[in-house]
Amino acid sequence: MTHSIGVDVGGTKIAAGVVDEKGEILASTRRDTPSQDAASIIAAIVGAIDELRADHAADVVGIGAAGFVDAGRSRVVFAPNLVWQDVDLRDEVSAATGLPVVVENDANAAAWAEFRFGAAVDVDDMMMLTIGTGVGGALVLNGALYRGSHGMSGEVGHVRLVPDGQLCACGLRGCLEAYASGRALVRNARSAATKAAAALPGSADRLLELAGGDPHAITGPMVTAAAKEGDVLAAYLIAEVGTWLGAAMGSFTAIFDPAAFVIGGGVADAGELLLKPAEDAMRRSVTGGNYRPQATIRLATLGNEAGIVGAADLGRV
C-alpha cells in the first residue's frame, strides 16, 4: 500500500494531506500561504510535508498549484494570485524532501479527484467547472487528464461568451468568468439590490436584510442562502449564472461531447437552483439537442478535499 502526499497551494491557504490508494485522506495539515516571496511558499510547503511524514510514510508528493503549470509538470509559469513566477517547484521541493514530486494546476487536480474517486467515477470523458470567485476548469478525455501541448488546457473561465462584454478579472472582455462566477454573482446582486430598492420596492428586502441594509455588503453565500429560502430575486440571480454556464456547456459539448460535466466551487452550493437553469440552457444551445444524447450535469462530491486528493493521486501517475 503506497501513500502519497497531496498539497493544494491556493492564494491564501496551503492544505496538505496523506492520501491512500482509495483516495482517503489519512492525515492533513494547513498553513497560510506566505505572501513575501517564492522561497517562503516553498518553505511552507516543505514544512507541511515534513509534519505529515513525522507520522506517515509516503513515497511521492503531488502539488496542485493555482496558476499555469508547464507541460513537464515542474514549473509554475504564471500565477496571478501568488508571488512566484517561473519557479522550479518540483526540483526545489524534491531536493528538500528527498521524494519524487509532480506539480499540476489546481483545477486539474480537483477534476482528477472527481474522476477517480468522486462524481465522475463511472465515465471516461468529463469536464469539470469550478465556480468560485472565478471559473476554473479541467478536462479528462479517454480516461486521462488532458493537459494540452503546453500544460495549459482547460482555462474555460476565459472562453469568450460575449464580444466586448463585461470586463473580466483577466483584463479581457466577455469571458465566461465575467458572467458565471461568484464575482459576477456578487456584482449583479449588489447592482440589483441597489436598483430594485427604487424600482420594485420590497423585492430586495431579504438580501438587504442579510447584508445589514448595505447593498455593497452582499456576498455570494448570502445570495445562495436567500435563494434557498425561496427569495425570488436571489433565485433569479443564481439562475442567471446557471444560464450563462449552460450556454458555455453547450459549446463545450459541441467540441468534446463529454459524458458528464461536474460542477464544483462555492457557487455550486446553490445546487438545483444553479443546475436546472444550466441544464435547460445547455440543451437549448446544443445543435440537434433533441436528437442526440447529451452530458449529464452533476455536483462535485469531494468539496475542498478534491485538491489534496487529486494532487496526491496524480503524484502516482
Candidates 158, 190, 206, 298: give the one binding Zn ion (CB under 5 A). Answer: 158
Cell 468560485, residue?
132
* Residue 168 touching Zn ion (CB under 5 A): yes
Candidates 96, 99, 123, 170: give the one binding Zn ion (CB under 5 A). Answer: 170
User: How far, in Å, CA of 81 to CA of 243, rounded?
Assistant: 28
Nearer to Zn ion, 101 or 186 (CB): 186
Nearer to Zn ion, 173 or 228 (CB): 173
DSSP string, 229-291: HT-HHHHHHHHHHHHHHHHHHHHHHHHH--SEEEEESGGGGGTHHHHHHHHHHHHHTSTTTTT
User: How far, in Å, CA of 162 to CA of 145, rounded?
Assistant: 28
Candidates 175, 222, 248, 268: give the one binding Zn ion (CB under 5 A). Answer: 175
* Residue 176 touching Zn ion (CB under 5 A): no
Contact segment (CB under 5 A) with Zn ion among 10-18, 55-63, 156-164, 183-191 equals 156-164
Smallest separation (angstroms) from Zn ion to the CB of 167: 9
Nearer to Zn ion, 158 or 190 (CB): 158
Nearer to Zn ion, 177 or 279 (CB): 177
Could you tell me which residues are beta bridge partners of residue 60? Answer: 4
Tally of residues, the chain: 317
Cell 493521486, residue?
313
> DSSP strand E in the chain: where?
4-9, 13-19, 25-32, 60-65, 68-69, 76-78, 101-105, 126-131, 135-141, 144-145, 260-264, 296-299
Question: How many positions of this chain bind Zn ion (CB under 5 A)?
Answer: 5
* Residue 180 touching Zn ion (CB under 5 A): no
User: How far, in Å, CA of 118 to CA of 110, rounded?
Assistant: 10
Smallest separation (angstroms) from Zn ion to the CB of 173: 8
Site for Zn ion in 18-77 (CB under 5 A): none
Contact segment (CB under 5 A) with Zn ion among 8-16, 49-57, 150-158, 300-308 equals 150-158
- Chain positions contacting Zn ion, by CB under 5 A: 158, 168, 170, 172, 175
